[in-house]
Amino acid sequence: MEQYVIKGGIPLVGEVEIGGAKNAALAILSAAIMTDETVTIDNLPNVRDINVLLDAIREIGAQVQRVDAHTVKINGSFIRDFNVDNEFIRKIRASYYLIGAMLGKYKKAEVALPGGCNIGSRPIDLHMKGFRALGATVDIEHGMLIASAERLKGTHIYLDKVSVGATINIMMAASMAEGKTIIENAAKEPHVVDVANFLNSMGANIRGAGTDVIRIVGVEKLHKTEYSVIPDQIEAGTFMFAAAATKGDIMLKNVIPKHLEATTAKLLEIGCEVEEFDDAVRVVASKPLHHTQVTTLPYPGFPTDMQPQMAVVLGIATGTSTVTESIFENRFKYVDELTRMGANIKVESNIAIINGVDRYTGARVNAPDLRAGAALVIAGLAAEGITVVDDIYYIERGYEDFEHKLSSLGALIEKVSTEKEIKKFTLKVS
Ligand code: EPZ
């Protein structure tokens, strides 16, 4: 088991390059098997969830050629197996995108029911409702979701809840259905738009992605394309909050500032300066930070994936803040860990009431999930003394080279795997 060991208290200063969006890339890689021609995808983040998905795509028979760490060529013409199951794929949520992709192309799919970060109950009823509305039979048997159809027929689908995954999955299957599909109350996240753009570049006919009504006219075949994944707004936001927590000055390169608006608005509110450029954002935290209120909401609201990072910053801002989590019910598991670092946070139902403290003090903490893990690293970077973050497996699911990017900004952080290495680091930095 690996850990991050951090000596906190150093303002992060410098430039950092943001990678491709993990959650867009997971859907795009799945959609890439929907043509028999070769698709080239670049700006992929080189992170664990992406590599697990690529292995699964390879296992069902597709050709996957890694051109470099961030570029892959996929050819789906050799797929003969419609059953996706291995011990790793069961751990990633995005395996469900292979259902929409295979159902659209082959009219059948069997995929192990998704795992993913433990942030609350994560049903897939809306995905199933969408596939059924398109004419598929969908069942869950022995831990597998099994979907099949003679033919898929375009239809009108209303999503009872805004769901990124269901919107994308239905969009993929409907791209190769007969006739027109309308998805109402669709998710508007940047990665929904990115997947639609990708599918359109393969010859799909999708209009309205980025609004709450998406219209899709099915096509018989999709063709080859070359596509670059959008920058990761959550990785970017994480570094923006790291700048705030450490009183730093970070220039983030390769971002789309529009996608960061909710994060930017909250940073301005608490007293940071944020400067926007065409494809860069600079965050400067030179003044004391103050409290605010935040509620997570579907895009363009404040993202649930930024909630723990924001809470860590509010934990050392003056006054009382509240953070309301409205998307996932179990996304405050990091609070106990943060309390061990000196935070004063009380959780009541889905609201965290945060009384700002002067500083965090380093402690040994566990990363409970991907974003909360990143948030605890931010707390460690801001804290006095040494912090050890255990279970960084979670963080590596979604952050590429996290420790190196942070080191390049002046952070004292190392990835270690033994107690001896922790001691060595502690001696070196003290
Ligand atoms: C995606 O999960 C992301 N994962 C999550 O990122 C992210 O937190 C989430 O969207 C919200 O933005 C991937 O893209 C792989 P949802 P997803 O369907 O698609 C309910 C990260 O840290 N719902 O938009 O699973 C659900 O319970 C991860 O990178 C149903 O009720 O999220 C939730 O309350 C963690 N039935 C809400 O909708 C369904 O069938 C939104 O979930 C589907 C969802």
Q: For residue 305, what is the domain's CATH number?
A: 3.65.10.10
Distance CA 388, CA 416 (A): 10
Beta pairing partners, 393: none
Q: What is the pLDDT of residue 119?
A: 62
For residues 200 and 175, membership in a common domain is answered with yes
Give the residue, by CA position, lying nearest to ligand 1 atom 42. 163
| Ligand 1 binding pocket mutation candidate from 22, 140, 164, 402 (most atoms within 8 A of CB) | 164
For residues 277 and 363, membership in a common domain is answered with yes
Q: Of the residues 228, 251, 272, which one is the last residue of a structural domain?
A: 228
For residues 215 and 251, membership in a common domain is answered with no
- Whole-number Å distance, alpha carbon 165 to ligand 1 midpoint, is 6
Would you please indicate which residues are annotated as catalytic (active-site) residues? 117
Q: Of the residues 206, 228, 250, which one is the last residue of a structural domain?
A: 228
For residues 50 and 187, membership in a common domain is answered with yes
Distance CA 372, CA 183 (A): 32
The boundaries of the domain holding residue 161 are: 22-228
In three state form, how does the secondary structure of 58-91 look? HHCCCEEEEEECCEEEEEHHHCCCCEECCCCHHH
Output phi, psi for 225, to 5 deg.
Answer: -160, 165
Which amino acid is it at 259? H
Is the pTM here over 0.85, yes or no? yes
For residues 208 and 243, membership in a common domain is answered with no
| CA angle 237–327–305, rounded 5-degree value | 20
Structure letter (DSSP) for residue 414: E
For residues 237 and 252, membership in a common domain is answered with yes
Pocket flag, ligand 1, residue 304 (CB < 6 Å) = yes
For residues 419 and 360, membership in a common domain is answered with yes
pLDDT, one tens digit per residue, over 290-320 is 999 999 999 999 999 999 999 999 999 999 9
Give the start-end residues of each E strand in 48-179: 63-68, 71-75, 83-84, 108-112, 137-141, 144-148, 156-158
Pocket flag, ligand 1, residue 122 (CB < 6 Å) = yes
346 burial class (0-12, 13-18, 19+ CB within 10 angstroms)? exposed
Distance CA 83, CA 150 (A): 18
Q: What is the pLDDT of residue 117?
A: 58
Q: What is the pLDDT of residue 116?
A: 56
Q: What is the pLDDT of residue 400?
A: 97
For residues 282 and 389, membership in a common domain is answered with yes
In this prediction, the residues of the chain whose per-residue pLDDT falls under 50 are none
Q: What is the pLDDT of residue 329?
A: 80
Q: Order of strands, edge to edge, in the sheet holding 412-416?
A: 364-366, 386-390, 3-7, 412-416
State how many domains the chain has: 2
Q: What is the pLDDT of residue 86?
A: 77
Q: What is the pLDDT of residue 381?
A: 98
- Whole-number Å distance, alpha carbon 185 to ligand 1 midpoint, is 15
For residues 285 and 249, membership in a common domain is answered with yes
Give the residue, by CA position, lying nearest to ligand 1 atom 16. 163
Report H helices in 291-369.
307-314, 335-339
Output phi, psi for 342, to 5 deg.
Answer: 105, 0
Half-sphere exposure of 128 (CA within 13 A, CB side): 13
For residues 54 and 102, membership in a common domain is answered with yes
Round the average pLDDT of the chain to a whole number and report it.
Answer: 96
* Plot region of 269 (φ>0 → left; ψ -120 to 50 → alpha; else → beta): alpha
Give the atom of ligand 1 at the shortest distance from the alpha carbon of 234.
29
Pocket flag, ligand 1, residue 305 (CB < 6 Å) = yes
Q: Of the residues 200, 228, 256, which one is the last residue of a structural domain?
A: 228
Compute how many other C-beta atoms are within 10 angstroms of the C-beta atom of residue 182: 16
